[in-house]
């Protein structure tokens, strides 16, 4: 397994090398913090089911994020039906 060292941007983002991204038929990834490791796995949205996807910026908001306070309101609305 190849190892790459990367820095975060000023916004806290990291870039996955294109040679890694291009190995998968998806641009969706699951990220999980496990002990002292950050695990990033490719995932097909269809595999996880629509009920598990709360927000997809591309699908739900023309690729734009949502402010935290608005996301909290949306989550409460989903929770309360």
Residue of higher predicted confidence among 32 and 63 = 32
Domain of 4 in residue numbering reads as: 1-48
Residue 65: per-residue pLDDT:
79
Dihedral Cα 81, 63, 47, 15, nearest 10 deg: -130
Q: pLDDT of 1-54, one tens digit each?
A: 588 888 999 988 888 888 888 999 888 888 888 888 888 889 877 665 555 666
> pTM higher than 0.85 for the full model?
no
How many domains is the chain partitioned into structurally? 2
Phi first, then psi: give them for residue 29, nearest 5 degrees. -135, 145
**What pLDDT is attached to residue 51?**
57
Residues shown for the chain? 81
pLDDT at 56: 76
Do 36 and 68 lie in one domain? The reply is no
Same domain (yes/no): 29, 13: yes
Neighbours of 16 (CB within 10 A): 15
Closest CA to 20 of 9, 36, 37, 6: 6
Same domain? 53 vs 35: no
4: CB partners within 8 A, 6+ apart: 17
- 36 with 61, same domain: the answer is no
């Amino acid at each position: 397994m190849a190892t790459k060292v990367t820095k975060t941007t000023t916004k806290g983002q990291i870039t996955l090398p294109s040679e890694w991204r291009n190995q998968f038929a998806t641009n969706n990834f699951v990220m999980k913090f496990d002990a002292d490791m950050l695990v990033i796995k490719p995932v097909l949205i269809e595999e996880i089911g629509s009920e598990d996807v709360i927000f997809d910026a591309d699908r739900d908001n023309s690729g734009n994020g949502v402010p935290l306070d608005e996301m909290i309101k949306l989550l409460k609305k989903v929770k309360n039906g």
